[in-house]
Amino acid sequence: MKLSYILSLLIILFLASCQTDALYCGDVNQGSLPDTISLIAFGSCPNQNAGLPVLDKVADLNPDIFCWLGDNIYGDTHDMKVLQRKYSALGCRPEFRSLNQKTHFLAVWDDHDYGQNDAGKEYSQKEASKNIFLDFWGEPLNSERWNHSGNYHSETFGPIAQRVQFIMLDTRTFRDPLLLNDGAPWKNAYRPNEDSTVTMLGQEQWLWLEQTLLEPAEIRIVMSSIQFGIDYHGFEAWANMPHEKQRFLDLIASTHSEGVLIVSGDMHWAELSRIEHPNLYSIYDLTSSGITEEYSPVEPNSNRVGPAFNHANAGMIEIDWLQTDPDIRMYVIDVNGEVVINHQLQLSELKF
């Protein structure tokens, strides 16, 4: 074979590789799930171009499921080729691939992987972005998630008496614009909107959520990309639409839905919040953020239980089904695997 031919072939291969829109490092979610879910991990806000060492510590714990709570990449674009390349960068991270070899992934999106900072229903590329999202996370082609507007979904795993339902909310596709604080600094950009006609989830998703909460399950993990349990801090949160927040609490009560635990991300710190509501058991929201991103100082929160933690972290929920009244441990680990937030309760505390 002539040297000139070999050189020409190498040049063609090099140019072809340069024109590839996205790397491919293997499929997501090809592993199997255990019969019983007893250890759930979760987190949010990884920079796809940075190391993700906390995920190695999560992998050491061998969770059954890892819940990705949004800002799973920092996409922030209307160019879907750019968005796809950024997903590929995450998918090729060795820490990401190593964790997915051990556990099953579930995911919701937040604004940065949706495509635009703080965006709601006005984002013009929501449908194209959703298709890229579902393809990346390995959503089965027969999933209803492909067929309805929005990116919400639910899955239930485990045998009777040990069922864990995962409720994946979409806080972006249908959300009305937030109410700005005139002249406020960026850290207090938004204020509560008392208009009861504005929506976080949209009517279609609210109807779906009601039916989903009526399905049988012993524990329900509600995956919310933004914080639910905090009182108010001026950033994005359910507190900016108090009527929608109240509607969710009322819906849990009216459906008599037991075992609800909320996990959330977004804020670049970790904390546990607790809401007390008439005729309802305590509602906990464990925030884990970020896998790489950090924020200082932590904002005040009168609903906080225990300390907050504002360095890289991941959240965990451990369920001891061997107990007559199952123990539930909610905790957060740092990049060294050390527990920095810890709270224990029993399943009976999540009942009416």
Average the pLDDT over 334-347 and give the result. 98
| pTM assigned to the model | 0.93
Residue 21 binned pLDDT confidence (cut-offs 50, 70, 90) = low
Residue 96 binned pLDDT confidence (cut-offs 50, 70, 90) = very high
Q: What is the pLDDT of residue 225?
A: 98
Distance CA 186, CA 246 (A): 26
Q: What is the pLDDT of residues 25-82, one digit of tens each?
A: 888 987 779 999 999 999 999 999 999 999 999 999 999 999 999 999 999 999 999 9
Q: What is the pLDDT of residues 139-163, one digit of tens each?
A: 999 999 999 999 999 999 999 999 9
How far are the Cα atoms of 5, 114, 127, 190, 350 from residue 83, in angstroms, in the given order? Answer: 37, 9, 13, 27, 39
Residue type, 309: F
List the chain domain ranges: 32-350
Q: What is the pLDDT of residues 211-252, one digit of tens each?
A: 999 999 999 999 999 999 999 999 999 999 999 999 999 999
Average the pLDDT over 11-31 and give the result. 58
Q: What is the pLDDT of residues 172-199, one digit of tens each?
A: 999 999 999 887 777 779 999 999 999 9
Nearest to 126 by CA among 75, 173, 76: 173
**CB-based contacts of 177, cutoff 8 Å, min separation 6:** 120, 122
Q: What is the pLDDT of residues 254-308, one digit of tens each?
A: 999 999 999 999 999 999 999 999 889 999 999 999 999 999 989 999 999 999 9
DSSP string, 46-70: --TTS--HHHHHHHHT--SEEEE-S
Give the CB-side neighbour count of residue 186, counting CA atoms within 13 A. Answer: 2
Q: Which CATH number applies to 32-350?
A: 3.60.21.70
Distance CA 333, CA 62 (A): 14
pLDDT at 7 over 50: no
Residue type, 319: I
What is the rounded average pLDDT for all residues in the chain?
93
Q: Are strands 327-333 and 339-346 parallel, antiparallel or unpaired?
A: antiparallel
Q: Record the tokens describing residue 7, joined without a space.
A: 């050189």
pLDDT at 201 over 70: yes
Distance CA 171, CA 44 (A): 15
Q: Are strands 270-277 and 164-168 parallel, antiparallel or unpaired?
A: unpaired
Nearest to 217 by CA among 163, 151, 139, 136: 163
